[in-house]
Structure 1
Amino acid sequence: MDYTLPDECRKYFRDPFGPLFPDIATAGSVFADCMIIAVGDVVTYNLVTAGILPDVAVIDGSTMREPCDHVVDLPVPEVGVSNPAGMLTGALIRAIEDAMNAGPCLIRVDGEEDLAVIPAVRAAPDGACVLYGQPGEGVVVITVDKNARDKADTLFRLFVAE
């Protein structure tokens, strides 16, 4: 099943989902000992550049809807899925869920990966860290626990099933 975020609900996704840090180095102590799920090309690139291989990375080849200059190639299995802007497709949700159990994985999205944070938090085990970029501000680090999962569930309920 696919899910669409109604235009009037987009405002709920503008504020950071968790603590905001200026960069990967500053945030490093928060995610040092956890499973890392990276959502976004720039965050993934910055992790890899810092010598950190995320357990799961979700990228779409763009940043702020422009082609991304930072090429991400990870030495891990890769899965390709389609996910149009403003949506969460069943294929993306399943790929994220499968990756949580399968070990290191790069999910390459044809479309847009921005909303992948929601299924990533919902599927990640307690103690995992989901990282994503807040454009022009830094990196958000969500440590997955019941509260984070409840917030992700609340945001997911804003989507309309198709």
Structure 2
Amino acid sequence: MLRLPAEHRDCFKRPFGTLYPDIPALLPVLEGRPVYVVGDVVTENILKAGITPQIAIIDGYTMRSPVNRSPLLRSRRATAWNPAGTITPELIAAIEEAVADPPRLIIVDGEEDLAVIPLVIAAQPGAVVLYGQPCEGVILRIVDAEAKERAEFLFSLFVEE
């Protein structure tokens, strides 16, 4: 299991992409691209906008409060154990399988917040990754060489436990 040391947490406070105020504002960017989402609220809102993500990663919580609904996705489901502040081999494997054979809903037992990093690393170029920025909006990251390089750098900050 990989854990993010406290001294590197500041590297994750800055958005890893472009901040949009809401889903309707980013819809034009999604056209013709595989869409991957991380987070219960973003998943729900992208579905309400009529977009079915190829991959959705949820944990049943938003801002540390339970979410009482599960997204109505007609896709295979996978589960992965991933405690807060970590990236587990189980989560990485679930993401890699989902990218190789979508659509998938990955339900995380623990916390899905850091799943954006291995998701960008595994995603094909041209895909978009969406995740929520609490009380601010939605972060959109187009997967390209720069995104993969940044994700690899962030991933390198984790330490093996």
The TM-score normalised by the length of structure 1 is 0.97
Aligned sequence identity (%): 51
- Tell me if structure 2 keeps the 8 A contact 1:129–1:143: yes
8 Å CA contact 1:58–1:106 kept in 2: the answer is: yes
What SS does the aligned partner of 2:135 have?
coil
Contact 1:39 1:130 in 2 (8 A): yes
Inter-partner Cα distance in structure 1 for 2:67 and 2:7? 28
Give the equivalent residue in structure 1 for 2:142.
143
Structure 1 stretch 122-131 or stretch 27-36: which is displaced more? 27-36
Q: After TM superposition, which residue ranges in structure 1, 4 or more long, deviate above 4 angstroms?
A: none
Match of 1:127 in 2: 126
Does residue 107 in structure 1 map to residue 71 in structure 2?
no
Q: Aligned residues, how many?
A: 161
Could you report, residue by residue, the CA deviation over 1:52-111 in whole angstroms, capped at 9, with x for unpaired residues? 110000000001111124531311100011100000000001100110011100000010
Matches within 5 A, 1:32-47: 32-47=31-46
Considering only aligned residues, what root-mean-square deviation do their CA atoms show, in Å? 0.9
Separation in structure 2 between the aligned mates of residue 26 and residue 71 of structure 1, nearest angstrom = 24
Superposition map of 1:39-78 within 5 A: 39-78=38-77
Does residue 159 in structure 1 map to residue 152 in structure 2?
no
Take 1:69 and 1:7, find their aligned partners in 2: how far apart are those partners?
31
Cα distance, 1:160 vs structure 2: 0.3
Q: Which amino acid aligns with 1:152?
A: A
Gap regions ≥5 residues in structure 2: none
Residue in 2 aligned with 1:4? 3
Aligned to 1:82: 81
Give distance in 2, aligned partners of 1:76 and 1:95: 14
Deviation at 1:51, TM superposition (A): 1.2
- DSSP 3-state at the match of 1:58: strand
Unaligned runs of 5+ in 1: none
Aligned to 2:95: 96
